[in-house]
Amino acid sequence: MTAPTLPPAAPSLARKDLRALLGGDRIDPRYYSSALITAVLVSAQLTLGVLEGLDRLALAIATCVVTELVLSRILLGRWPNLASAYISGISVGILVRSLALWPFVIGAALAIMSKYVLRLRGRHLWNPSNFSVVLMLVTAPAAVNALSRQWSNSPLAIAIIWAFGLLVVWRVSRLHVTLTYVAAFCAGAAVRSWLTGVPLLAEIGPLTGPMYQLFIFFMVTDPPTGVSTRAGRMGVVVLVAVVETVLRLFEQVNAPFYALFLVGPLALAIDLRRTAPAREVAAGRGGALPVG
């Protein structure tokens, strides 16, 4: 007589919570990119002093993570995937420049809160760090600035950052967004050069700076705030580059942030409205509408 076989034990609540925090049964690939960019930043800080301070970066990351945990548990009743909060914290910690500590706390909290408040049909409209940086620049210009200086003029350093960034956006299937934006930016640079007489290389030069590298690889490519089709995403970043070109003609140094702030949510709202009937039909049949 054989002993009865027992069903496998259900995973403990602690293990379920840990899997939720890490993004499910598989670790979210965004954690790998976050870990790599963190290592690059720490190395750059120790060798070149590129940040206001590692304490400010850590403060922004911690605020994003804590805010995400609290809001998700209170409003949704579940533990969140922390990959997005971690990336938002890194972005705020890098892009916000201030001698005070409070902008890093307020900016990080605003970034996460925007995901839970500014929503349409279950989607948050603004890229969290873009929303936060723009709001801080507009409401506290005397205390807050955006990253604008060059980390290094070394061609090797620039090549490494671009290679790493292209690998990341390729992994999340957003390489077409980055390449389209870069092409549109260069076209806009040519127009600005023709109108103002500034050398073309000077107009294209910002692409080699850290602000644009973060913008190109981690902000315009943000999957949760992108529209549903490949062609649509390419069209949106072309429009972002057009608005940015106009703003830069008026000498607005933070033009890319403002352009995405204006164009991105409007494009997503139109896309959600356009695809709403198909989504409702798919939901009624018990199916799921694939993301483009």
Q: Which residues contact 190 (CB under 8 A, 6 or more apart)?
A: 200, 203
- pLDDT score recorded for residue 269: 94
Determine phi and psi for 119, rounding to 5 degrees. Answer: -125, 155
Q: Which two structure tokens, joined as six digits, stand for 130?
A: 């873009």
Is residue 162 classed as helix, strand or coil in its secondary structure? Answer: helix
Give burial (CB, 10 Å; 0-12/13-18/19+) of 26.
exposed
- pLDDT score recorded for residue 128: 92
pTM equals 0.81
In this predicted structure, the answer to whether residue 1 has a pLDDT above a threshold of 80 is: no
Tell me the pLDDT band of 180, cut-offs 50, 70 and 90: very high
Length in residues, the chain: 292
- If one compares 284 and 76, the residue with the highest pLDDT of the two is 76
Supply the DSSP string of 54-81, one letter for each residue: HHHHHHHHHHHHHHHHHHIIIIISSPPP
CA 290 to chain centre: 22
Task: Please state, in angstroms and rounded to a whole number, the distance separating the CA atoms of residues 31 and 83.
Answer: 6
CA dihedral for 20, 24, 29, 35, sign (positive or negative): positive
Task: Please state, in angstroms and rounded to a whole number, the distance separating the CA atoms of residues 143 and 46.
Answer: 25
Tens digit of each residue's pLDDT (9 = 90 or more) over 204-217: 988 887 778 888 98
- If one compares 81 and 16, the residue with the highest pLDDT of the two is 81
CA dihedral for 214, 154, 104, 38, sign (positive or negative): positive
- pLDDT score recorded for residue 290: 38
Q: Which two structure tokens, joined as six digits, stand for 176?
A: 């077409």
- pLDDT score recorded for residue 4: 45
Tell me the pLDDT band of 104, cut-offs 50, 70 and 90: very high
CA 142 to chain centre: 25
- If one compares 286 and 132, the residue with the highest pLDDT of the two is 132
Lowest mean pLDDT among 58-67, 86-95, 142-151: 142-151
Which position has the token pair 């598989």? 26
Tens digit of each residue's pLDDT (9 = 90 or more) over 241-286: 999 999 999 988 899 999 999 999 999 999 999 887 655 555 455 4
Is residue 225 within 8 A of residue 171, CB to CB? The reply is: no
In this predicted structure, the answer to whether residue 2 has a pLDDT above a threshold of 60 is: no
Q: Classify residue 4 by its DSSP letter.
A: P
In this predicted structure, the answer to whether residue 50 has a pLDDT above a threshold of 70 is: no
- pLDDT score recorded for residue 291: 36
Which position has the token pair 């069209």? 235
Task: Please state, in angstroms and rounded to a whole number, the distance separating the CA atoms of residues 146 and 12.
Answer: 45
Q: What percent of the chain has pLDDT over 70?
A: 75
Tens digit of each residue's pLDDT (9 = 90 or more) over 216-225: 988 898 888 8
Tens digit of each residue's pLDDT (9 = 90 or more) over 198-207: 999 999 988 8
- pLDDT score recorded for residue 81: 84
Q: Which helix (H) or strand (E) holds 8?
A: none
Lowest mean pLDDT among 19-33, 52-66, 100-114, 228-242: 19-33
Determine phi and psi for 17, rounding to 5 degrees. Answer: -65, -40
Tell me the pLDDT band of 82, cut-offs 50, 70 and 90: confident
